Amino acid sequence: MASSSDEFDRIAFIGLGAMGLPMATNLQNYLKSQDKEPLVVYNRTISKTESLVEIGAIAAQSLKQVAEQTNIIFTSLANDEAVNQVYSELLESLKPNDGKNVIFIEMSTIYPTTIANIKEKVEKIPNVHILCCPVWGPPIGAKNAQLIIITSGHQPAIDHVMPLFIPVLGKKTITVGDDVTKAAEFKLIGNFFVGGVVELLSEGMTLAEKTGIGRDKLMEFIDLFFPFSSFQNYGKKMQNDTFPTEVGFTVTNSLKDVGHMRRLATEYECPLPVADIVHQHLITVKANGGENYDWSSIVGALRIAAGLSFVKK
> Where does 11-178 sit in CATH, by number?
3.40.50.720
Spatial contact of 245 and 286, defined as CB atoms under 8 Å apart:
no
Question: In the chain, which residues fall in CATH 1.10.1040.10?
Answer: 184-306
Kindly report, residue by residue over 146-203, the tens digit of the pLDDT. Answer: 999 999 999 999 999 999 999 999 999 999 999 999 999 999 999 999 999 999 999 9
Rounded CA-CA distance 42/194 in Å is 30
Spatial contact of 162 and 2, defined as CB atoms under 8 Å apart:
no
pLDDT at residue 7, as a whole number: 53
DSSP state, residue 24? H
**pTM of this prediction?**
0.93
What's the burial of 263, exposed, middle or buried (CB within 10 Å: 0-12/13-18/19+)?
middle
Kindly report, residue by residue over 86-142, the tens digit of the pLDDT. Answer: 999 999 998 776 778 999 999 999 999 999 999 999 999 999 999 999 999 999 999
- Of the candidates 141, 135, 60, which has an alpha carbon nearest to the alpha carbon of residue 105? 135
pLDDT at residue 5, as a whole number: 42
Kindly report, residue by residue over 255-281, the tens digit of the pLDDT. Answer: 999 999 999 999 999 999 999 999 999
* Catalytic residue numbers, as ranges: 187
Topology (CATH) of 184-306:
N-(1-d-carboxylethyl)-l-norvaline Dehydrogenase; domain 2 (1.10.1040)
Spatial contact of 148 and 171, defined as CB atoms under 8 Å apart:
yes
Average the pLDDT over 308-313 and give the result: 84
Question: In the chain, which residues fall in CATH 3.40.50.720?
Answer: 11-178
pLDDT at residue 312, as a whole number: 75
Residue 311 or 240, more confident: 240
